[in-house]
Amino acid sequence: MLMVATVFYPSKKLELVKLCFEELYGNDTVEYKEMYDSLLNVLRSLFKEYSTRLGGDTDPDDQSSQPNKTSQSSREKSIERMEIVDDCAGYKRIDVRYKQKLNEIGVREKRDELETYLRESVENPELMAGMEYDVLSYWRSNAARFPVLSEIVRDVLAM
């Protein structure tokens, strides 16, 4: 839980966790990878649990929580049903081939709050002399951007 709490410090995130695991287990070791994967699994599980509790969508691919995606899927299905051929050689249109390629490699169009937060760069607060970085102020001001994460942070940091 200490590592989970560390991730929710915007000035540290996963960078400090990686450094700690590297110092403890060595870089690119099995233990390092297991601990790192375990931490990511805990973060995802927490996010999924809190999303469910708060009534948010947990799966970006879940069509029941995304009405726009449902209409998009029906359009895609109708396009797939049609035989799309550009010329006598039988080549498919490039946009159809590209969509098929994206489906094969599993690209998601939407990232959840956790992924967005973790992909953002680590904050480097410029502190005034004698002032400490206030992580709670960060989460209060970013609660609208990260509503589920701010609830998780409230509970995790309270421990």
What digits encode the pLDDT tens for the residues 50-103?
999 988 554 444 444 444 444 444 445 444 444 444 555 556 677 777 777 767
Residue 41 clears pLDDT 90, i.e. is over it: yes
Q: Is the pTM of this model over 0.85?
A: no
Chain centre to alpha carbon of residue 54: 17
Share of the chain above pLDDT 70, in %: 67
- What is the structure's pLDDT at 45? 95
- Greater confidence (64 vs 24) lies with 24
Task: State residue 95's pLDDT score.
Answer: 74
Name the band, by pLDDT with cuts 50, 70 and 90, for residue 149.
very high
Does position 46 have pLDDT exceeding 50, yes or no? yes
What is the C-alpha to C-alpha distance for residues 55 and 53, in angstroms, rounded to an integer? 5
Residues 6+ apart with CB under 8 A from 97: none
What is the model's pLDDT at position 92?
60
Residue 111 CB neighbours (<10 A): 12
Is residue 9 over pLDDT 80?
A: yes
